[in-house]
Every structure is written in structure tokens, then in C-alpha cells.
Amino acid sequence: MEIKEHIQEDIRVAEVISKEIIINGTDDALELMGNMYYQGFDKIIMYQKNITSDFFDLKNGMAGDILQKFSNYRMGLAIIGNFTDIPSKSLKDFIYESNKGKHVNFLPSVNEALK
């Protein structure tokens, strides 16, 4: 896992780069959030490919649990991926609602996340 630092208006953003799945569950997300906070980062950018596909199956509650933790601890999270062709209406709605807020966003690119 590699961390690429971005600084936007005095806010430190960690872009997490990996070829492997980093988040397999809530504990992994909390550990990542804690590590990034400890290193002085305010926000995290991750890629869809680094999160278990179970996250995107809303029936198991994992996505809600993880996103709630990021919101509670006020750590911004941007998940980068292609979310335009999602067949699940409930997942589309979930992403739409998340993107209305400020703490967790699903975006198509790092450039969008840094805006």
C-alpha cells in the first residue's frame, strides 16, 4: 500500500494506492482511518477496486456501518470508481444520498475528489 499526499487549501488528503483489497470489513476501515488520522491526514481517497465487493451489497449493512464511522469521526472519504452503470437501484440511491453530504462521496476521478 502506498500513500500519496495531496494538499488542498491546507487540508492534507491521503490517496491510498494498492493492487490489493484493503477494506474487507468495518475493522479494516477503522484501522485505515486511525492510521491516516495519526499521520495527520484530514481526508482519504480510495479506489473502488480496493474495497471488497461485499461493501457494495447493501443487504449486509457493511457500507452503512463504514460510512457512518467516517461521518462520526469527521474524516472525509472519497471512493473513486465508475458508478454510472450500477444495476442496483438501492445502491444508486445510496451513492446519490452520500454524494449530497460532505463526508463520504463516490466520484469518477481523483481530480473530482480534490475539488
Domains of the chain from N-terminus onward = 2-114 (3.30.750)
Counting DSSP H helices and E strands in the chain, the numbers are 4, 5
Q: Tell the burial category of 110 from Cβ atoms under 10 Å away from its Cβ (0-12, 13-18, 19+).
A: middle
For residue 85, the model assigns a pLDDT of 81
At 115 the pLDDT is 85
Per-residue pLDDT, 101: 86
Which one, of 10, 28, 15, 25, lies nearest residue 77 by Cα? 15
| Predicted local distance difference test score (pLDDT) of residue 102 | 84
Q: What's the average pLDDT block by block, 10 residues per block, for the chain (115 residues)? A: 94 97 96 96 97 93 93 94 88 93 93 92
